[in-house]
């Protein structure tokens, strides 16, 4: 697959059908990432603000129906204390991620966002708090939020209904994503690789949907089962296929911000490096306080460093240097609109 070419559905399907690592594809993707982002890998400080969720996605350990889940939510002061530490370590993006926790009211979220923006000048705030009304998204934006992450999970309606209960719908998810774009957020979306019942055609639809949405950030990671969910007996997704897809996404979205995700590294740490060498250009070190970190269990054995943030950061810097990249902690905004629109 060459850069700057929009492959047909059938050639995309052919690339996806093999789940082996493809050196040539990765090298090509790396060339494109270096043309646009040089050797820079942007670091984002991830803060998992609440493990409560009102939803019941069948794949996720935080689902409301999981009575075994350990729940916590951080207070405003705790979140600001994490930002303070992160700011001292050089982070200039904070990602506030959590389940859909009804106790996190809009006014609480706005208060936290505006406090971070005023206390830590020059920072970008990214929210990842699920589906909300337009007016809520607007209020967060007015409070200063810059970016929003909301994976579409699967762009096929039938598949969506196999991963989620009836109370959730793909159309609502899409509506949220387009609302976020309209409000001027830098938007991130993405999907799980190897989720139960996923077909090659589903992944082609995911890529087509991303081309339609034209997000600034694209996060993909393998499905990893969780012992206390309805999907406990399903196989994990393939790390090799995820890495191939990272390369494909880099070629199709030359300017996008693509993280080497935690679920990929959970399957095997080596995969993080492979993703970086195949076009990924973001890492999100976890700044969540150690005392609650293990409770944010989306899936089994979720990679969770027991190191203090500063030590973990040193490790990441060294790892990046070893494989020929440079950790950058500036805001790291997207360089240009992601989709090469004349390809569609
Ligand atoms: N395996 C992999 N990823 C998962 N997520 C939730 N549960 C799992 C799982 N079992 C991902 C979803 C969600 C993000 C926060 O975590 O894609 O959007
Ligand atoms: Fe809640 Fe998100 Fe997990 Fe679904 S994936 S149950 S919305 S935390």
pLDDT tens for the chain, residues 1 to 344: 766 668 999 999 999 888 777 899 999 999 999 999 999 999 999 999 999 999 999 999 999 999 999 999 999 999 999 999 999 999 999 999 999 999 999 999 999 999 999 999 999 999 999 999 999 999 999 999 999 999 999 999 999 999 999 999 999 999 999 999 999 999 999 999 999 999 999 999 999 999 999 999 999 999 999 999 999 999 999 999 999 999 999 999 999 999 999 888 888 888 999 999 999 999 999 999 989 998 898 988 777 777 778 788 999 999 999 999 999 988 888 887 544 443 33
**pLDDT the model gives residue 335:** 84
Q: Is the CB of 192 under 6 A from ligand 2?
A: no
Identify which of 57, 59, 227, 271 to mutate to test ligand 1's pocket (most ligand atoms within 8 A of the CB): 59
What integer pLDDT is reported at residue 341 of this predicted model?
42
Give the per-residue pLDDT at 110.
98
Mutate to test the pocket of ligand 1, among 298, 300, 301, 303 (most ligand atoms within 8 A of CB): 298
Q: How far is the CA of 263 from the centre of ligand 1 (A)?
A: 8
Q: Give the pLDDT confidence score for residue 18 in this predicted structure.
A: 80
Query: CB of 32 closer than 6 A to ligand 1?
Result: no
φ, ψ of residue 284 in degrees (nearest 5):
-115, 85
Q: What pLDDT is recorded for position 337?
A: 59
Mutation test residue for ligand 1: of 65, 221, 232, the one with most atoms within 8 Å of CB: 221
In short, whether 159's Cβ falls inside 6 Å of ligand 1 is no
Measured from the CB, is residue 60 less than 6 Å from ligand 1?
yes
Q: Name the residue with the closest Cα to ligand 2, atom 2.
A: 99
Q: Give yes or no for residue 143 CB within 6 A of ligand 2.
A: no
Cβ 298 under 6 angstroms from ligand 1: yes
Closest atom, ligand 1, to C-alpha of 263: 2
Q: Give the per-residue pLDDT at 333.
A: 87
Q: Would you state the pLDDT for residue 310?
A: 78
Is 151 touching ligand 1 by the criterion CB < 6 Å? yes
Residue nearest ligand 2's atom 4 by CA: 57
What is the predicted pLDDT for the residue at 163? 98
pLDDT of residue 3: 66
Say if ligand 1 is within 6 A of residue 153 CB. yes
CB of 129 closer than 6 A to ligand 2? no
Q: Which fold has domain 29-328?
A: TIM Barrel (3.20.20)
pLDDT value at position 191? Answer: 98
* pLDDT at residue number 344: 31
Atom of ligand 1 nearest to the CA of 226: 10
What does the pLDDT read at residue 235? 96
Q: What is the pLDDT of residue 340?
A: 45
Q: Residue for token digits 């009211």? A: 105
Looking at residue 265, what is its pLDDT? 84
Distance 30 CA to ligand 1 centre (A): 26
What pLDDT shows up at residue 297? 87
Return the ligand 2 atom nearest residue 153 CA: 5
């Amino acid at each position: 697959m060459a850069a700057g070419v929009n492959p047909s559905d059938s050639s995309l399907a052919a690339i996806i059908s093999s789940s082996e690592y493809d050196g040539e594809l990765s090298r090509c993707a790396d060339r494109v990432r270096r043309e646009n982002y040089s050797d820079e890998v942007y670091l984002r400080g991830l803060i998992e603000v609440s493990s409560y969720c009102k939803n019941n996605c069948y794949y996720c350990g935080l689902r409301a129906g999981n009575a075994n889940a350990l729940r916590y939510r951080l207070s405003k002061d705790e979140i600001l204390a994490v930002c303070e530490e992160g700011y001292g370590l050089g982070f200039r993006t904070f990602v506030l991620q959590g389940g859909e926790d009804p106790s996190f009211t809009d006014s609480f979220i706005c208060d936290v966002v505006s406090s971070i923006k005023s206390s830590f000048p020059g920072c970008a705030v990214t929210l990842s708090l699920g589906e909300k009304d337009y007016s809520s998204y607007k209020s967060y934006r007015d409070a200063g939020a810059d970016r929003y992450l909301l994976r579409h999970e699967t762009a096929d309606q039938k598949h969506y209904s196999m991963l989620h209960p009836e109370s959730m719908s793909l159309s609502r998810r899409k509506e949220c994503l387009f609302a976020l774009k309209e409000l001027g957020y830098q938007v991130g979306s993405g999907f799980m690789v190897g989720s139960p019942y996923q077909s090659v055609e589903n992944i082609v639809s995911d890529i087509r949907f991303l081309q339609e949405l034209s997000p600034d950030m694209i996060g993909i990671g393998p499905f990893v089962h969780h012992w206390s969910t309805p999907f406990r007996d399903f196989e994990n997704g393939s790390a090799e296929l995820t890495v191939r897809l990272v390369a494909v996404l880099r070629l199709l979205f030359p300017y996008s911000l693509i993280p080497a995700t935690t679920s990929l590294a959970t399957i095997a740490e080596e995969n993080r490096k492979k993703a970086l060498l195949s076009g990924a250009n973001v890492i999100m070190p976890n700044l969540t306080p150690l005392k609650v970190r293990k409770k944010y269990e989306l899936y089994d054995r979720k990679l969770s460093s027991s190191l203090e943030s500063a030590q973990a950061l040193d490790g990441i810097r060294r790892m990046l240097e070893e494989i020929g990249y440079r950790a950058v902690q500036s805001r790291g905004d997207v360089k240009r609109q992601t989709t090469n629109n004349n390809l569609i």
